[in-house]
Amino acid sequence: MPKKLRFALGASLIVAAIGYLILTAVRNTAEYYLTVNEVRARQAELSGQMLRIAGRVEPGTISWDPTTLTLRFGLIQPPPGPGDSGVKPVAAATGAVSFQVICRGQPKPDMFAANRDVIVEGRLVADNSVEAREVLTSCPSKYVPKQPK
């Protein structure tokens, strides 16, 4: 086999391997999440599935047991912000909790608090609850302009 042909074959195998690795890495890290309203609308079809839900921790619903590492809280749809489309949140009018989240065996996130935006990764179960395997919190924005007095 000529040297140029071996070099071209080797180079094409390396390029193909790198392309495959990039493709699989992007596919594995491109996990999207649903909002509380989207999950509520598709609840029957999503029941029992693993998914990610973005929402807000409802005040007054947090229960943390450090001995069993069990965290329970209500997850609601955050109210629309200034740039949002104006879709009304499911729980805003009634004050009801949209989903009850139960996370066992994980430490409580450091930034976890009432009215904090979170992403819950877990399984949607039949009684409007989510058996979470992970709760991710977002950092509060440091660039919020001061309100005029």
For the chain, the domains span 1-30, 34-137
Give CA–CA dist 34/38, Å, rounded: 6
Report the C-alpha gap between 149 and 147 in whole angstroms: 6
DSSP state of 83: T
> 117 pLDDT exceeds 80?
yes
Q: What is the pLDDT of residue 23?
A: 85
CATH architecture for the domain at 34-137: Beta Barrel (2.40)
**Stretch (H or E) spanning 10:** helix 3-29
The whole-number pLDDT of residue 93 equals 43
Task: With 0.75 as the threshold, say if the pTM is over it.
Answer: no
Q: How confident is the model at residue 82 (pLDDT cuts 50, 70, 90)?
A: low
Q: Which of 95, 117, 106, 43 is nearest to 69 (CA)?
A: 106
